[in-house]
């Protein structure tokens, strides 16, 4: 047995930590592979062997941060369960390091198709699938109208959060989430026959 995998893992973590630290200090726009390599104490070829671009390095570094708690519980109350996850996401996005770094990552994804595809595959799609699964279960349990469209609801719920995060840069507060949920679900709740 050798300790080579441990050295490799440690080096990878060191490089990703250096990328995060530099992105926070300088901003993603000024992040370079050369600067990351120097901060991590490795050659730039060591970085390039692991990541073919700074965007993919940055993606791995950002996604290495803890995002636990973003899976939906099932308490039998769809609005309460969505609120739990949405407020956790808002708290995560509303403060460093995750929020500003995620904004930069979304920005990079607009210009780099590889980063966009990897971000979608590794973060967006799993989060979407978890939310859709919870919405479909709620629909099956009769918590939502029979003609309820989970995919559209997911987009409606996500849109205001991303709008505030990326466009207006207003805070995504718990009160705002409550208002979004109220607006969406008061119109989508099952209707009783008069």
The number of angstroms, rounded, from the C-alpha of 70 to the middle of its chain's C-alpha atoms is 9
> What's the confidence (pLDDT) of residue 188?
61
Domains assigned to the chain: 4-63 (1.10.10.60), 78-186 (1.10.357.10)
> What's the confidence (pLDDT) of residue 187?
61
| Rounded average pLDDT per 10-residue block, the chain, 194 residues | 62 93 92 95 93 93 83 91 92 84 91 94 92 94 89 92 90 93 77 61
> What's the confidence (pLDDT) of residue 193?
59
What is the end-to-end Cα distance of the chain in Å, rounded? 73
| pTM for the model | 0.81
């Amino acid at each position: 047995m050798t300790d080579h995998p441990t050295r490799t893992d440690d080096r990878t973590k060191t490089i990703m930590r250096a990328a995060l630290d530099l992105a926070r200090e300088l901003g993603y726009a000024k992040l370079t592979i050369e600067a990351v390599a120097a901060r991590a104490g490795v050659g730039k070829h060591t970085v390039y062997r692991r990541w073919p671009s700074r965007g993919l390095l940055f993606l791995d570094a950002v996604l290495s941060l803890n995002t636990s708690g973003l899976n939906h519980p099932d308490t039998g109350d769809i609005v309460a369960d969505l609120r739990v996850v949405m407020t956790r996401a808002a708290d995560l996005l509303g403060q460093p390091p995750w929020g500003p770094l995620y904004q930069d990552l979304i920005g990079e994804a607009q210009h780099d198709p590889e980063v966009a595809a990897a971000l979608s595959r590794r973060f967006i799609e799993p989060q979407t699938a978890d939310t859709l699964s919870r919405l479909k279960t709620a629909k099956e349990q009769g918590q939502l109208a029979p003609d309820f469209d989970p995919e559209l609801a997911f987009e409606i719920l996500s849109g205001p959060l991303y709008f505030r995060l990326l466009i207006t840069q207003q805070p995504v507060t718990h009160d705002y989430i409550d208002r979004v949920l109220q607006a969406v679900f008061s119109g989508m709740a099952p209707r009783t026959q008069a």
